[in-house]
Chains A and B, each alone.
Chain A
Amino acid sequence: MAHIPDGFLSASVSATTYAAAAALSAYAARRTRTRLDERAAPTLGLATAAVFAAQVVNFPVAAGTSGHLLGGTLVAVIFGPWAAFLVMTAVLIVQALIFADGGLTALGANVVNIAAIGALLGYGMYRALMALLGEGMRRRALAASLSAYAATVLTGVAAGLELGLSGVAPVRLSVGAMASVYAITGAVEGAITGLAVWALARKRPDLLYNVADAPIPASPRRAILLGGLGSLAALTGALSVVASTAPDRLDRLAVNLGFADAAAAWKNAPFAEYRAWLPGAGGTALAVAIGAVLVFVGAVAVARALMIMRRTRQS
């Protein structure tokens, strides 16, 4: 269910996602106009037509099934993130209005899931990976492939969250189910995007959106580090919603053997039972996100300490 149909979302979720989509569209139009001059309009029109045409090409997967391109990250790699957002929005409007693929009441949600996460977040991850991997045709293709995969999975997580918040199914269930389905869809999307970017990088590297044209932060390493850390925290926090609340094996053993109360001292730990300040799933997500950041910072600190020790020994 790449596109959420009518009837699945509640009025509040529909209104919230419409507001987010409208704000992003207005900002994207401003950014695209200042970055791409008036040439943008015809080029974006052709890009919209190309996405439609590209979705006709089927890729055989297995057991008689096939997949096709969603295109958000690929279009962003070619035309830039904000232009790609507008292209995907145009595609979603036509799909909802003329082909009944995706509902009109869910258009805001579909724009957020497919255009914003697919194009904007996909491009952000692509750029971060490019900075880590360095230049080169294969590296470019690998970065595009991985970011397309991650963006597609996150599209599924967002759709699951919206369906869950609308009361269609429990949040844990809808997010888990959508993330599982999109993990497969994402593999197809990642492979197609990677192969297409590789072919473009070989044939016409000038066509790919030039990263050098985009504003580069003063300290790229710090930006990448903070961006990566932020993404990690957001992803682990979002996925914690679908984690099982059932006791693990050690907990079960402790309950069965009757020494579960012995661990009561740990109830006063800062984030006991994976709860941080907020009630319910929000508290769990926050605790897991903080935990992911702390583990990352701890690992970096240990690595730096080991490096200093090695240098001291060598000197």
Chain B
Amino acid sequence: MSFAHLDRYADRPSWLTRRTTPDQRLWIALGAAFAAGLMPPGAWRALIVLAAVVGLGAWAASVPARTFGQRIAQALPFFLLPALALPFTVPGPPAFQLGALTASTTGLLRATEIVARATLAVSAVTIVVSVTRAADLLGALDGLPLPRLVRTSLALGYRYVYVLTDELERTTRALKSRMGRASKLRLWRARAATLAHLFLRAHDRGVRIHAAMLSRGYQDCLPSLRNHSDVGLTWTLLILGLFAVVWLVGVLEVTR
């Protein structure tokens, strides 16, 4: 197993990749997600402007529309399904009847707003993730105020998730071939034992890796060969400033 499909457009030259480093792209993604996600309810004009900026970003990143759409579609159920319940649960003037359920206009409006905000935030993150290698993205997390143990866990986790998933796939295949007609209870016990085995292997491998790292001079910190560059700093600050302005316009639009 590999996550190589995530890096398919990482090396493709585009306006965005030529002018920004992975670290800067991570900040841009965070800026867009926060501007969209925290846009106050009712700020429709600001949301439309933000959608135009994100659309421009998709064009600047040269991510094929089909791939972009597929990735958004994968993320869609995470926010669409919870939002679908809102028209029927939020009290307000009735809009339409669906069997025994009554949808309210307030709930409909709230669900539409939430879906719009979530779609914009996910789109911005998807654009950046599509044009940045996963390893570079995780490396860019060094610039965020995260505990060192979390950053090291992320780097090593990314390195070994393929190894452990391959092992798990082999164990699961063996389990399937031996338990074709097993009862549900036996199947649960066997799968739980598989998970226990997975954690056991992860622990033992962790101890071995630690010994190997120590023998190579590990001193409680993973060295990085990444090239820190300020090439696109002006562009990054401009884009982040634009997101901040749009968010502020949204706040003013609601408070007036």
Asked if residues B199 and A100 are in contact (CB atoms below 8 Å), the reply is no
- Give the size category of A's interface with B: 35 or more
Closest B residue to A29 by beta carbon equals B147
Q: Is B209 an interface residue (CB 8 A)?
A: yes
Q: A47-91: which residues lie under 8 A (CB-CB) from chain B?
A: 47-50, 52-54, 56-57, 59-60, 69, 74-75, 78-79, 86-87, 89-91
Total cross-chain contacts (CB, 8 A)? 259
Point out the residues of chain A lying under 8 angstroms from B194, CB to CB. 57
Point out the residues of chain B lying under 8 angstroms from A49, CB to CB. 156-161, 163-165, 202
**Cβ 8 A contact of A200, one of B40, B71, B86, B199:** B199
Interface on chain B toward A: helix, strand, loop, or mixed SS? Answer: helix
- Identify which of B36, B125, B147 gathers the most chain A CB atoms within 10 Å of its CB: B147
How far, in angstroms, from A106 to B153 measured CA to CA in the complex? 21
Q: A-B pairs with the 6 shortest C-beta distances?
A: A45-B156, A195-B192, A7-B117, A48-B157, A105-B37, A100-B75
Can you offer 7 A-B residue contacts whose CB atoms are under 8 A?
A40-B149, A42-B206, A48-B153, A50-B202, A100-B125, A192-B191, A199-B192
Asked if residues A44 and B153 are in contact (CB atoms below 8 Å), the reply is yes
Q: Is A170 an interface residue (CB 8 A)?
A: yes
Q: Is A267 an interface residue (CB 8 A)?
A: no
- Give the size category of B's interface with A: 35 or more
Asked if residues B147 and A46 are in contact (CB atoms below 8 Å), the reply is no
Interface on chain A toward B: helix, strand, loop, or mixed SS? Answer: helix
Asked if residues A204 and B200 are in contact (CB atoms below 8 Å), the reply is yes
How far, in angstroms, from A90 to B153 measured CA to CA in the complex? 7
Q: Interface digits, B58-75 against A, CB 8 Å rule (1 contact, 0 not)? A: 000000000000010011
Q: List the interface of chain B (C-beta within 8 A of A).
A: 3, 6, 29-30, 33-34, 36-38, 40-41, 71, 74-75, 78-79, 81-82, 85-86, 89-91, 110, 113-118, 121-122, 125-126, 129, 134, 137-138, 141, 145-150, 152-161, 163-165, 167-168, 172, 184, 187-189, 191-203, 205-207, 209-210, 213, 218, 220, 222
Given A6-B118, A42-B213, also A57-B168 (CB < 8 A):
yes
Point out the residues of chain A lying under 8 angstroms from B86, CB to CB. 168-169
Asked if residues B153 and A41 are in contact (CB atoms below 8 Å), the reply is yes
- Identify which of B184, B197, B205, B210 gathers the most chain A CB atoms within 10 Å of its CB: B210
Given A1-B82, A50-B198, also A105-B154 (CB < 8 A):
no
Asked if residues B198 and A54 are in contact (CB atoms below 8 Å), the reply is yes
Q: Is A38 an interface residue (CB 8 A)?
A: yes
Q: A6-62: which residues lie under 8 A (CB-CB) from chain B?
A: 6-11, 14, 22, 25-26, 28-29, 32-33, 38-50, 52-54, 56-57, 59-60
How far, in angstroms, from A94 to B71 measured CA to CA in the complex? 16
Point out the residues of chain A lying under 8 angstroms from B149, CB to CB. 29, 32-33, 40-41, 44, 86
**Cβ 8 A contact of A93, one of B117, B154, B184:** B154
Given A33-B149, A94-B157, also A46-B187 (CB < 8 A):
no
**Cβ 8 A contact of A56, one of B3, B141, B165, B207:** B165
Given A46-B157, A49-B160, A57-B195, also A6-B33 (CB < 8 A):
yes
Q: A75 → chain B, closest Cβ, in Å? A: 8
Q: B46 → chain A, closest Cβ, in Å? A: 14
Point out the residues of chain B lying under 8 angstroms from A5, CB to CB. 78-79, 82, 118, 122
How far, in angstroms, from A8 to B189 measured CA to CA in the complex? 37
Closest B residue to A7 by beta carbon equals B117
Extra contacts, 17 of them, besides A43-B203, A56-B165 (Cβ < 8 A), are: A46-B160, A46-B203, A46-B209, A49-B163, A52-B165, A53-B165, A87-B153, A98-B6, A104-B30, A104-B37, A105-B121, A169-B89, A192-B188, A196-B196, A196-B199, A207-B200, A207-B203
How far, in angstroms, from A86 to B152 measured CA to CA in the complex? 11
Asked if residues B118 and A7 are in contact (CB atoms below 8 Å), the reply is yes
